[in-house]
Amino acid sequence: MLRLFRDTLHIGLYADRIVLVRERGLLGRGSRQQHTERVLPNALPGNAALDALQRLLQEPRWRGADARVQLSNSLVYYAIVPASAHLMSAGDEVALAFLKFRQMHGVGAAACDVRLGNLMSGQDQIAAAMESGFVQRLRHILQEADVQLAALEPFLMQAFNRVRRQLVGSDFWFALAEPGLLTLARCQSGSWVSLATSALAGPLARELPVQLQEARLMSGATSDTQRVYLYAPGMDCAGCEASPDLELLLVAEPSKTNPISAVPTDSLALEH
């Protein structure tokens, strides 16, 4: 079957649940099936979600499709790779990314799958790394179910690409919330200068100003950014505030709904 006419299977993998949404018909304009299943996290992040995915893909209704997989930020390492005039090739830039991940997260090149969204751009950029064993097992599970991996997208990159047209200016904080997790990234003069992901120990309205203040103290940026964009699909943002000296702006879900974000709960995407 031509891939243009194959169904699209959107898969959301999280530490505590998985979400499956199958869109039928040409370009996903037909009928839709969806399923959300909770899983019990275990000692190895993501393994419980992969166990559940392997079991669910045994059902005929999910098999034989092209898959777009979205990974929770809890399953991805992030680092900012600085621009450097000493980088002579894409290989040099990837090697620098591996060095940053080893320094920040203690993971070696053999243990992770590193991707950069804008190689040799001459700008600081966000890099993502996933455990190699996790990615290999995911590919094996999909292959067994006759599911072709079309894209593997960390949530931060997928979300930013979706809403970037709503972010005005070149100096701002981008706050991305998902159940149990908050990611804060800072853009200054059009370049990423800091990024941190932390667990949410309580309601978003209570945790956001606390974690934002901590991130501001840890940031090495030289100027104070006054605007915070909050994107929290499917979460309760009632009562959310940043701080007295920061303007908090809620980012709306784009009209072209992301099937994974819609289930209750353009260059950074890692295409395959």
pLDDT of 189 reads 85
- Please check whether residues 239 and 175 belong to one and the same domain: yes
**103 and 34 within one domain:** no
CA distances from 87 to 14, 59, 101, 109, 192 (A): 35, 48, 17, 18, 18
Cα(60)–Cα(244) distance, rounded to whole angstroms? 53
Tens-digit pLDDT profile for residues 98-135:
777 777 766 655 567 777 766 555 667 788 888 889 99
Q: Rounded CA gap, 21 and 258, in Å?
A: 10
Averaged pLDDT score across all residues of the chain? 82
Length reported for the chain: 272
Check whether residue 97 and residue 200 sit in a common domain: no
pLDDT tens-place string over residues 29-43? 556 899 999 988 776
Q: Is residue 95 located within the same domain as residue 44? A: no
Q: Per the domain annotation, does 255 fall within a domain? A: no
User: Does residue 31 sit within a domain?
Assistant: yes
pLDDT digits (tens, 9 = 90+) for 45-99: 788 999 999 999 999 999 999 999 999 999 998 888 777 666 667 777 777 777 7
| Count: domains in the chain | 3
Q: Do 244 and 204 fall within a single domain? A: yes
Does residue 267 belong to any structural domain of this protein?
no
Return the DSSP state at 49: H
pLDDT category of residue 267 using cuts at 50, 70 and 90: very low
| Residue 190 confidence (pLDDT) | 84
Same domain assignment for residues 229 and 177: yes
Domain contains 34: yes
Range of the domain at 237: 168-250
The gap from C-alpha 206 to its chain's centroid, in whole angstroms, comes to 23
**In this predicted model, what pLDDT tens digit does every residue of 159-207 receive, in sequence order?**
998 999 999 988 999 999 998 899 999 998 888 888 989 999 899 999 9
Q: Compute CA distances 130 → 137, 149, 227, 244, whole Å.
A: 12, 16, 30, 37
Does 206 lie in the same domain as 86?
A: no
What is the model's pTM?
0.83
Same domain membership, residue 203 and residue 68: no
